Amino acid sequence: MTFLIVVLILVILTYAYNLYNIEKHKHNKLREIEIQFLLGSMHFLQYKYHVLQILEIVHEKAAESDPKFIEDYKIIKEKVEEKYNQFGDEWIKSLKDTLGYETEYKNWYEATKYIDGLVKRSKERNNSTE
């Protein structure tokens, strides 16, 4: 009888250990997805920057003939940034729902600061290993 109890305890411990490893692996994969998503979203920021650059060039050229285009540019730039931030907030909300765990950021603005920190730490690690 004691032998069966010991075997049962070993089976339960093995099962618990396997579950722990599966959960740990799952968490690590989700963390990888999170970081890849955040780093990939840096392209979103670059796209925003390029859009604003194009708008600025177009409005500067148009302002040569009519100065009111300078004010139009400011309004359009504000709306573009507002829309990009809205998209970013929606993406972060969706990411957080997918991950199922708390992150260090709650919205797009905080996520961009977090991304900057990741990139900075990565560069520091690369520089220290060279």
Per-residue pLDDT tens over the stretch 14-33: 888 877 888 888 888 888 88
Which is more confidently placed, 65 or 129? Answer: 65
pLDDT at 26: 84
Number of Cβ within a 10 Å radius of residue 115: 19
Distance of CA 70 to the CA centre of its chain: 33
Q: Is the per-residue pLDDT at 130 higher than 70?
A: no
Domain ranges of the chain: 43-130
Which is more confidently placed, 121 or 78? Answer: 78
Give the pLDDT mean for 51-67: 86
pLDDT at 78: 92
